[in-house]
Structures are given as C-alpha cells and as structure tokens.
Amino acid sequence: MSLFGMLRPYRLAMIIAVALMLFEVLVEVWHPILLGRIIDDGVIGGDRAAIAKWGGAMIGVSLLGFVCGIANTFFAAYASHGFSADLRERLFHKTQFASLFHVRRFSNSAWSTRLSNDVNQVQTSVFFGLRMFLRAPLVVAISLALAFTVDAKLSVWMMGATPLVLLGLYVSIRRGFVLFGSAQRELERTNGVVRDNLIGMPLIRAFARDDSETERFAQVNESLRKRMGSALRLSEMTIPSALLFMNLMIVAIVASAGGRIQSGDLGIGAALAMVQYGVRISGSFTYISLIITNVSRARASWSRIRALLAVEPSEAESLGKAEGRRPFEGPEDSGRPLDIFFDKVSFRYPDAEEPALAELSFRIEAGQTVAIMGATGAGKTAFMQLLPRVHEPSAGTIVVGGRPLGAWPLAQLRARIAYVPQQSVLFSGTIRDNLQWGKADATTDELVAAAAAAQIHQPIMRMPQQYETMLEAGGRNLSGGQRQRLAIARALVRNSGLLLLDDSTSALDAETERELLRELRARKATTLLITQKVSAARATDRILLLEGGRLAAQGTHEELYRTSELYRRIVASQNREEATLNA
C-alpha cells in the first residue's frame, strides 16, 4: 500500500488542516502591506485615524491567524498520529500473519527499528507536511505575488533569487535521501550488535570475548557516526546557505530602495513592506531547509518500511483470518487425541534448491507417543511445523483427526495443538501469567496439575513467591531445565489432543525426563517428541527416523535396533559418550 493510501482514512482531517493552513498564510502575507499603510498613511501622513484603522486590522488579522494556526496543528497532529498508529499496527500484523520464512528474512533489529524509529520519522514528516511543508512554499509564492503589486522593480530581486535557492534545495533533497538511507541502515546494524550482546552476555563472558565484542561495537558505532555525520553536515550547510543567499537579496532590496526613497519614487512604507516580504521569504526557506532534512530521513525510512509491507501473508494465515473464529464442524472436545496420516508429503523452503522433506508416508494412531529422531538438518523441525500449518507442504496429503489438514479452520486446528519449540520462550511476568498464556481461564488446580505433570511444581513451590514469582524476560532467572519444564507445563495447560515437543527435554536429566514421559503417556494425548536421546526415544510407542528429509526407518526401539544400521550407529555413539562420562 502507498503512503497516500494509508493516509486515506484521515483525508477529512488533512483537508481541514490544509484549509486552515491556507487561511493562516493568506492572513499572514497581508501584514507587510498593512504595516506599510500604517507608516505611509498614518505615521508619515500624520493621520491617527489611519493608524487606528490599519493597526486594528493588523491586530485582528494576527488573532485570526493565531486561531487558524492552533486549529491546523490539532488536525495535523490527529492525522499524523493516527496514521503512525495504523502503520505500526499493519507492520505488527505482518509479524503475526506473514510466513516465518519471509519474516526471518529481516533481522529482529530491523523489525524493531522500522516499527519504532522509521515510523516516527514518517509520522514527523506527515505532521510537518500538513503544518509547514505546504505553508512555506505558499508563503513564498503569495509573498512574491503581493511584492510584485507593491513594487515590480524591487520584486525582481526576489524572483531572481528564489529559483536559485529552490534548485539548491532540490539537490539537497536528492543527496540527503541517499545519505540518511545509509545512516538508517547503519543504525539498524548498531542495534543488532547491541541486541546480540545483551542476549549473549553470559556466553560472551564465558568465552572471554568482551574485548572483541567491544571492538565490534566500536566499528559499527564509528561507521554510524560517519554516515550520520555526512547526512547532518549536508543539512547543516543547507540552512546557512539558503539564509546567506536570501539575506544578500534583502541587502540588494534595501540598497535599491534607498535612492528611490530619496527621489520620492518609493514610499518608506512600501520599502519596508518589500523588506518584510523578503524576510518572510527568507524565513520560509529556512523552514523548507528543515523540512528537507526531515523529508530526506522520511523517504529513506518509508522505503525501508515498504520492504516490510511487501511481505506477503502465508496462505494458511490468510485463510485463517478470512475464516475468523467460525466453529469447527465436528466434536468440540479439544482434548480428544488426534490421529495423523502423511501420504507422500514433501516440503521445500522458498528459494531452497533441495527439499527439506521428501515423500514422507506414515500413520500415527490417536494417543500414541512417537519420537522423531535424526541428525541436524534431517528435517525434524520442518516436519513438526507442518502440523499447525506454520509451513505448507509442497506436495502430498496430511490428514489430522480424520480431516485433510487444509479442511480444518485454522483457529480450531491450532486450538487442538500444543507446541513447545526448541528454544523455550517465556515472558516477563509471573509464573502464573506464563502458564495461563496457554489457557487464559485456567484454574489454579489446572495450573498445578500441568506443572506437576511437567515436573516443575515442586521447584515452583520452593520459590519464595511460588506461582506469583516474577520472571525476567526470557525466564533468565530460571535454569535451562526449569525453563523447558515450564514451557511444557504451559502447553499441557491447554489440554490439547496433539502435543508437539521440539527437542524440549534436552536440558532435563534422565530421571526427570523419564517421569515427564510417563506423565505424558498417562494423559493419552497424541504426542510427537523430537529428541536426540535414545533413552527418551525407547520410552515411546514408536520412533520415526529421518535422514536427509526422508523417512529412513520407523518402529519401536527394539525393531529399529534390529533393522536400521543408522539407528544402531546412533545408539552406539550415545553409549560411547555415556561410557566416557562415567569414566
């Protein structure tokens, strides 16, 4: 969507703002003429009535301009702030409904910078556009026209200088767009380095990388300083250059008017009016120079924002949004275990040459606990993310709960699924808040039952505030195992028919993991567990062994140990590791 398209809901406020600004300008440009009349007719002519008449008119016009200016500011602020709120909402909507592949093409710092700094730049530009950008050119144009009616000879100086200044400002805009765009990209890089250091601080200290990270930040910070310095130097040169040129114009007007006043060819009031118009034109060019700096930044920001707006929503998310929350045509029991059937399912990431998954075919019965094993890059996570339709299969058919996956209303499908990703994601707030994120209306008994099943209830009860304990962002005040168990408990609170655990027990010791799996089997939900541990896999009903995106083997631990060379290598490797650790 274009910038003007997003401003369309505020067109009435913008029209009113522009009309008020136009009226304010028309009022303002009459000041020099009124002042000239006061001097020529009143002061020099000795006519007090003329002073009162034109002075009263000048006061009235000033008050009217003041009221119009205040009202213009109100409507300009309403339109610009409303537009920026809509723009942020649209960008945030992209993070929720775009495909993960397209969202992750941009870094986290890119999203945060564009949602905050870039939107603010465009908002400021819209405000100044309604308040000053149109006002300044109008003041210049109308002042030139009225100056010509006051004295055509002196107005030649203004008409000669104005195009030259405008040409210089145009060049400044073109150059500023390039420089500020470069500076914004460097700001994004700097934010990314800061974010990496804040997130990875324990690792940085553990590897004694403080000096190298400090040097890395110094490099990007210096690059930002240079790019921003170049952009600001351009804007710093623009205003003084425009002022110098226009002040020379005023000096030329005064010099030309002096001789004509002495000869009686020009009145003092008319000369003063011409000087006033010159000052107004000069002041307007100052405003235009400031606006140019803002517009240069805003253009660079808008081009970066448009790249995010161009991100297309995934097919599943678009369908889910269109469906809304229409009820599921079937049993409403979200806890009923679901069977799963894959028939020659393949999946390829956009722009990837090779498929991540190729012709997977298998059946998982409702209520089974199934382990998914394979080396890094085997396609385990891609396989699991097909079920909640985070990704769409490139080929083949997936049937869940007796229905083709695409036939499920998206909201209802995801209500039947609880998913725990590889990295445990916890939010700042209490433990209770995090657990209720899985089910907002969950009772205390439900939270305790889920926490107990996930083997985290007792550790919570040993905390001073128990379930009201505050968590830092990401759960940084918990151990890795506690974070994983709390994330699993949050998923169990949903009481969903399909539980997906993406390597979510990697930080658990063998005894805790064994108890957790026993509790999961007792819950009867269909459970898929990605794991690298043979000890966890052998406790499940079946194992799916992936290799290079294909199903290499499937069966129980005993069956695979007899029939799969790959599985025997995995078992032997882990046995050697355990023997080494025990030694």
Report the pLDDT value the prediction gives residue 579, as an integer from 0 to 100: 60
Q: Is 94 exposed, middle or buried (0-12, 13-18, 19+ CB in 10 A)?
A: buried
Whether the predicted pLDDT of 180 surpasses 80? no
SS3 539: coil
Cα–Cα distance for residue pair 339/139, rounded to 1 Å: 73
Q: Which two tokens stand for residue 236?
A: 């710093």
Report the pLDDT value the prediction gives residue 483, as an integer from 0 to 100: 86
Report the pLDDT value the prediction gives residue 151, as an integer from 0 to 100: 80
Question: 470 has which bridge partners?
Answer: 430
Q: What are phi and psi of 564, to 5 degrees?
A: -115, 115
Listed range (124-133, 176-185, 464-473) with the worst mean pLDDT:
176-185
Condensed to tens digits (0 to 9), the pLDDT of residues 51-78 reads: 788 778 778 877 888 888 888 888 988 8
For residue 331, what pLDDT band results from cuts at 50, 70 and 90?
Answer: very low
Whether the predicted pLDDT of 324 surpasses 70? no
> What kind of fold does domain 3-315 have according to CATH?
ABC transporter transmembrane region fold (1.20.1560)
Q: Which two tokens stand for residue 22?
A: 């136009």
Report the pLDDT value the prediction gives residue 154, as an integer from 0 to 100: 80
Read off the amino acid at residue 532.
Answer: Q
With tokens 């190729």, the residue in question is 358
Cα–Cα distance for residue pair 328/581, rounded to 1 Å: 52
Q: Which has more pLDDT, 395 or 580?
A: 395
For residue 175, what pLDDT band results from cuts at 50, 70 and 90?
Answer: confident
Asked whether the beta carbons of 356 and 317 are under 8 A apart, the reply is no
Report the pLDDT value the prediction gives residue 399, as an integer from 0 to 100: 92
Condensed to tens digits (0 to 9), the pLDDT of residues 82-104 reads: 888 888 888 777 766 665 655 66
Report the pLDDT value the prediction gives residue 318, as an integer from 0 to 100: 46
Q: What is the mean pLDDT of residues 396-414?
A: 86
Report the pLDDT value the prediction gives residue 340, as an integer from 0 to 100: 92
Whether the predicted pLDDT of 182 surpasses 70? yes
Would you kindly state where each structural domain of the chain is located, as residue ranges?
3-315, 334-582
What's the half-sphere exposure (Cβ side, CA atoms, 13 Å) at 516?
30
User: What are the angstrom distances between the C-alpha of 271 and each of 279, 296, 524?
Assistant: 12, 37, 94
Report the pLDDT value the prediction gives residue 205, as an integer from 0 to 100: 63
Report the pLDDT value the prediction gives residue 342, as an integer from 0 to 100: 92
Question: Which residues lie closer than 8 Å to 458 by C-beta, 6 or more apart?
Answer: none
SS3 294: helix
Asked whether the beta carbons of 371 and 542 are under 8 A apart, the reply is yes
Asked whether the beta carbons of 175 and 234 are under 8 A apart, the reply is yes
The DSSP secondary-structure symbol of 391 reads S
Listed range (204-208, 417-421, 481-485) with the worst mean pLDDT:
204-208
SS3 59: helix
Q: Which has more pLDDT, 368 or 178?
A: 368
SS3 401: coil
Q: Which two tokens stand for residue 209?
A: 């990388």
Average pLDDT taken over every residue of the chain: 79
Quick one: angle between helices 315-323 and 48-97, nearest 10?
110
Cα–Cα distance for residue pair 544/380, rounded to 1 Å: 10
- Class of CATH domain 334-582: alpha beta
Nearest to 123 by CA among 81, 170, 179: 81
Asked whether the beta carbons of 443 and 473 are under 8 A apart, the reply is no
Contacts 24+ apart (CB under 8 A), 437-446: 437/490, 438/490, 438/491, 438/492, 438/493, 438/494, 439/493, 439/494, 439/495, 442/493, 446/493, 446/495
User: Alpha helices of 310-422 — where are they, by DSSP H?
Assistant: 315-323, 380-386, 410-415
Cα–Cα distance for residue pair 426/449, rounded to 1 Å: 19
Condensed to tens digits (0 to 9), the pLDDT of residues 4-25 reads: 777 888 889 888 888 888 888 8
Read off the amino acid at residue 6.
Answer: M
Q: What is the mean pLDDT of residues 459-463?
A: 88
